Amino acid sequence: MELSVVVPCYNEDESVEELHRRVTAACKDSGVKTYEIVLVNDGSSDGTLAKMKAMVEADPHLVIVDLSRNHGHQLALTAGLAHAQGDHILIMDADLQDPPELLPDMLARAHDGIDVVYGERVKREGETWFKLVMAKLFYKTLSYMSDVEIPENVGDFRLISRRVLDELLAMPERQRFIRGMIAWVGFKQEAFPYERKARFAGTTKYPFWKLVHFAFDAISSFSIRPLRIAIPFAFSAAVLAGGLGIYAILAYFLGGTASGWASLATIITFFSALQLICIGLIGEYIGRTYIQVKGRPLFIVRKVFRGSEAG
Interface contacts to ligand UDP, rule CB under 6 A: 8-10, 12, 42, 70, 72-73, 76, 93-95, 97, 204-206
Q: Which does 72 bind (CB under 5 to 8 A by kind): ligand UDP, Mg ion, none?
A: ligand UDP
The helix/strand/coil state of 154 is strand
Per rule CB under 5 A, is residue 74 in the interface with Mg ion?
Answer: no
Question: Between residues 42 and 217, which has the closer beta carbon with respect to ligand UDP?
Answer: 42
d(CA 143, CA 137): 10
225, 231, 237, 238 alpha-carbon torsion, rounded to 10°: -160
| Residue closest to Mg ion, measured at CB | 95
Nearest distance from residue 70's CB to Mg ion, in Å? 16
Nearest distance from residue 48's CB to ligand UDP, in Å? 8
Nearest distance from residue 257's CB to ligand UDP, in Å? 58
Question: Between residues 61 and 199, which has the closer beta carbon with respect to ligand UDP?
Answer: 199
Nearest distance from residue 158's CB to ligand UDP, in Å? 14
Question: Between residues 70 and 292, which has the closer beta carbon with respect to ligand UDP?
Answer: 70
Determine the interface stretch with Mg ion among 91-99, 180-188, 216-224, 270-278 (rule: CB under 5 A): 91-99
Binding-site member from 15, 24, 97, 221 for Mg ion (CB under 5 A): 97
What lies within 8 Å, CB to CB, of 34 at 6+ separation is: 1, 2, 3
Per rule CB under 5 A, is residue 15 in the interface with Mg ion?
Answer: no
The helix/strand/coil state of 110 is helix
Residue 298 per-residue DSSP state: S
- One-letter amino acid for residue 166 of the chain: D
Number of shown-chain residues binding Mg ion (CB under 5 A): 3
Q: Which does 10 bind (CB under 5 to 8 A by kind): ligand UDP, Mg ion, none?
A: ligand UDP
d(CA 286, CA 10): 30
Q: Which does 13 bind (CB under 5 to 8 A by kind): Mg ion, ligand UDP, none?
A: none
DSSP string, 243-275: HHHHHHHHHHHTTPPPP-HHHHHHHHHHHHHHH
Question: Between residues 114 and 154, which has the closer beta carbon with respect to ligand UDP?
Answer: 154
Determine the interface stretch with Mg ion among 42-50, 68-76, 93-101, 208-216 (rule: CB under 5 A): 93-101
d(CA 210, CA 220): 15
Question: Between residues 103 and 114, which has the closer beta carbon with respect to ligand UDP?
Answer: 103
- One-letter amino acid for residue 108 of the chain: A
d(CA 173, CA 167): 12
Helix axes 162-169, 178-185, angle to 10 degrees: 120
Per rule CB under 5 A, is residue 95 in the interface with Mg ion?
Answer: yes
Question: Between residues 141 and 204, which has the closer beta carbon with respect to ligand UDP?
Answer: 204
The helix/strand/coil state of 38 is strand
* Radius of gyration of the chain measured on its C-alpha atoms: 25
Interaction site with Mg ion (CB under 5 A): 93, 95, 97
